[in-house]
A and B are shown apart, each in its own frame.
Chain A
Amino acid sequence: MKDNLYEKYLVDSAMPTMWCPGCGNGIVLQSIIRAVDELGLDQDRTVFVSGIGCSSRAVNYLNFDCMHTNHGRAIAFATGIKMSDPDLKVIVLTGDGDCASIGGNHLIHACRRNIDLTVICMNNSNYGMTGGQFSPTTPLGSQTKTSVYGSYEPPFDLCELTASAGATYVARAATYLPVQMKEMIKKAIMHHGLSFVDCASDCPSLFGRLNRRGDAGQMMLGWKDRLVSVKQAETMSREDLEGKVVWGEFVNSSERIEYTDVYRQNIARAKESVNG
């Protein structure tokens, strides 16, 4: 790697991060930095926006214009930023709780609008920051602080959710596959429309400990048996896919018009009608 990559993109005075040893958030952040660097994005024309959670703390470490907003509201703030200057690259860093429980409504409406934001979800299957409660992505039967007899709520598949709500780039990455993650993040950033990358990640301190998954190294190795590519999944039965996590691209489409483009057209129509 280039020697100055971390020096260039990380806020030295904020390091080391507040994350626990082995927390997957740092692996996602590293993939983002590499993606941004390989794309050669302008640090003054790229904005990162986050909500609340361990994952949302990521913006504190980035040497970019960043906004650390309210819980669940990152996409709403990001929408405002994008609408005010559509030529900015606006990237939302969020968690499964932040974007799928309290922020779920903002997520689906951003997808419906197909606004050109990149939403990167660090999905660790629980609320890390508040002590390990179950989230909308906690697998059925998992131990969490609020499901000591096993989680009894069926989870969302965030890729299915965002795809059906209208997102035009949808992919799932995993911290076990950081190079592929970086490639998907690059495509998501360059995509014109709402892109969503679900990053399958680990919270070794809470979810990992409560589910007896071993230490951070063992948790990481555990992904090897659980990850299945989209291509492999096509030939597998429903039963075989039980407990597996499918990674890869689910949607990559340019069929729907993007929201700031629609909005510009709408302004032109309004002007035309006023000017007669």
Chain B
Amino acid sequence: MKDIIINTSWCKGCGICVALCPRNVLKLNEETVEVADNESCIGCRQCEYHCPDFAIRIGEEDV
């Protein structure tokens, strides 16, 4: 399982990461994004590279 690190004070809840995640790992709450299904994350980093706000990262190591 991958370590998904969200910086909630930078995330603006734009939804780009949610739209691009191939495994529906992420979902939006009222203001920011949150992890809905950590188990399914394959570590492709689509969310990380496309985040306009430097707000989501995938850790190097499996957790």
Interface residues of A, Cβ cutoff 8 Å to B: 1, 6, 10, 15-17, 19-27, 30-31, 175-176, 178-179, 204, 215-218, 220-221
Contact = CB atoms under 8 A, between A and B. Distances in A.
A22 B16 contact: yes
A25 B52 contact: yes
Interface in B1-25: 9-10, 12-16, 18-20
B28 to A, nearest CB: 9
**Interface size bucket, B side?**
20 to 34
B35 interface: no
Nearest to B19: A217
**Best-buried of B13, B18, B52, B57 by chain A (most CB within 10 Å):** B52
A220 B50 contact: yes
28 contacts: A1-B48, A6-B54, A10-B54, A15-B54, A16-B10, A16-B53, A17-B53, A21-B52, A22-B14, A23-B52, A24-B52, A25-B52, A26-B51, A27-B50, A27-B51, A27-B52, A30-B49, A178-B49, A178-B50, A215-B15, A216-B19, A217-B14, A217-B15, A217-B16, A217-B18, A217-B19, A220-B16, A221-B19
